[in-house]
Amino acid sequence: MKTISFFLILALIVGCNSEETQYVISGSFKNKQAKDWIYLIYPDVKTGHADSAEIIDGRFEFSDLVEVPEMYYLSYNPNISQEAFGFFLEPSELKITIDPSDWTDGSTISGGPINDEFFRMEEELANAYSTKSFEIRETYPPSQEENRKSYNRLMLNLRDSIATIRKDYTWNNPDSPISLIYLNNFYHKLPLEELGKILNRIPENMQQTSLYERVEIYYELSIDQKDSRKHVSFKDEVAIMNELPMGSSIIGTLVSRNPNKVLYIDIWGTWCGPCKQEFPHSNRLHEMVDTSNVAFIYLCAASEEESWRAMIEDEKLSGQHYFLDRDLERALFKEIGG
């Protein structure tokens, strides 16, 4: 009798835990779907997909257990692609409608408190940004040269204010999975001390998520590199700059990407002998200063991309490297009066 009672109690406990962690996704399409299968995909730092479902009469369903809510994706592609809808996989009955013509902005979800809060906040922020940016554009039309500085400054302030709202939410709601999404948008811009304080506020169960692991790896590497005066490999900070936010300047964009830092900007070309002679001095300077306060930025212009990549490989330059295409090259020289 005692044995039977034990198994009954155990079954009740397991059943209760399953109800607390179970999710059910009931999905449909706004328009006729183009594929016969849809995939539930792990967060983007993982590979492969978590589950798949056949689409029958325009409908699909997923169900399983989830211990910690985290951002997942639905897509026709078993690996994350541009055509994907991101949402929080949380213990709830989720109703999702996919818009195959606009997966990101056209799809909708309801039924889960975390998703409801996240998409409500993002809609409010998007509406506020749209309204204010329209007012700025109307007051200072960027097509008129005399307005561009005011327009760029106000738009930068607007973007900063939106970022501050997300940052404040992260600090005030460390136990919310939404905070990890926001933190992943700005963690690399924070001083290490501030980032460490935020990470310490996040509860242990959320520290098992892929988004937390990404930030934690960055933080630990940065601490090690700061202590040893070694720095992230320059290969991790190489990019082709071929577009800017509307109305933004190149220098303004670099300032916004490196808040509260002194910018050391080197404009060079692969064909420029004197430029290359300065690289050893730049490397020594990079080792001498605290890079949490100084950003080393190298803008390559009037050069071929292949030669640029080969040269920064050979020179082992630490810092942020950007290759400017022809349009931005002209914009840069116009901006600095060159």
Sequence-separated (6 or more) residues with CB below 8 Å from residue 112? 88, 90, 92, 93, 94
pLDDT number for residue 224: 66
Q: Domain ends where: 109, 138, 171? A: 109
Which residue reads 């967060």 in tokens?
43
Q: pLDDT for 316-333, tens place per residue?
A: 777 888 888 777 787 787
- Domain co-membership, 245 together with 219: no
pLDDT number for residue 248: 60
Is 220 or 49 the better-scoring residue by pLDDT? 220
Which residue reads 């900070």 in tokens?
237
- Domain co-membership, 220 together with 162: yes
Q: pLDDT for 225-283, tens place per residue?
A: 555 433 333 334 555 554 454 446 788 878 878 888 899 999 998 888 888 888 888 88
- Region 166-173: mean pLDDT is 94
- Domain co-membership, 244 together with 326: yes
Least confident of 26-35, 40-49, 103-112, 192-201: 40-49
Backbone angles phi, psi at 224, to 5 degrees: -60, -40
pLDDT number for residue 6: 41
- Region 133-151: mean pLDDT is 91
- Domain co-membership, 119 together with 213: yes
CA angle 279, 285, 287 (to 5 degrees): 110
- Domain co-membership, 130 together with 207: yes
Q: pLDDT for 25-56, tens place per residue?
A: 999 999 888 899 999 988 754 556 789 999 99
pLDDT number for residue 9: 40
Strands (DSSP E) found in the chain: 22-29, 37-41, 49-54, 59-65, 70-75, 84-89, 93-98, 108-110, 238-241, 262-268, 294-300, 320-324
Is 71 or 244 the better-scoring residue by pLDDT? 71
pTM > 0.85: no
How many domains does the chain fold into?
A: 3
Res. 139 pLDDT band, cuts 50 70 90: very high
Res. 311 pLDDT band, cuts 50 70 90: confident
What mean pLDDT is reported for the chain?
82
- Domain co-membership, 24 together with 58: yes
Q: Which structural domain, as residue segments, surrounds residue 138? A: 115-228
Q: Domain ends where: 57, 90, 109? A: 109
Q: Are 18 and 10 a contacting pair, CB within 8 Å? A: no
- Domain co-membership, 253 together with 332: yes
Q: pLDDT for 87-98, tens place per residue?
A: 999 999 999 999
- Domain co-membership, 186 together with 257: no
Provide DSSP, 123-177. HHHHHHHHHHHHHHHHHS-TTSGGGHHHHHHHHHHHHHHHHHHHHHHHHH-TTSH
Is residue 303's pLDDT more than 90?
A: no
pLDDT number for residue 250: 80
pLDDT number for residue 218: 83
Is residue 123's pLDDT more than 80?
A: yes
Which CATH number does the domain housing residue 30 bear?
A: 2.60.40.10
Res. 315 pLDDT band, cuts 50 70 90: confident
pLDDT number for residue 174: 92
- Domain co-membership, 197 together with 136: yes
Is residue 154's pLDDT more than 50?
A: yes
- Domain co-membership, 9 together with 103: yes
Q: Domain ends where: 228, 257, 284? A: 228
Is residue 207's pLDDT more than 70?
A: yes
Which CATH number does the domain housing residue 311 bear?
A: 3.40.30.10
Say what percent of the chain tops pLDDT 90. Answer: 38
- Domain co-membership, 193 together with 282: no
- Domain co-membership, 304 together with 256: yes
Res. 3 pLDDT band, cuts 50 70 90: very low
Which residue reads 């964009």 in tokens?
253
For residue 209, the cross-strand partners are: none
For residue 323, the cross-strand partners are: 240, 300
Q: pLDDT for 279-292, tens place per residue?
A: 888 888 877 888 77
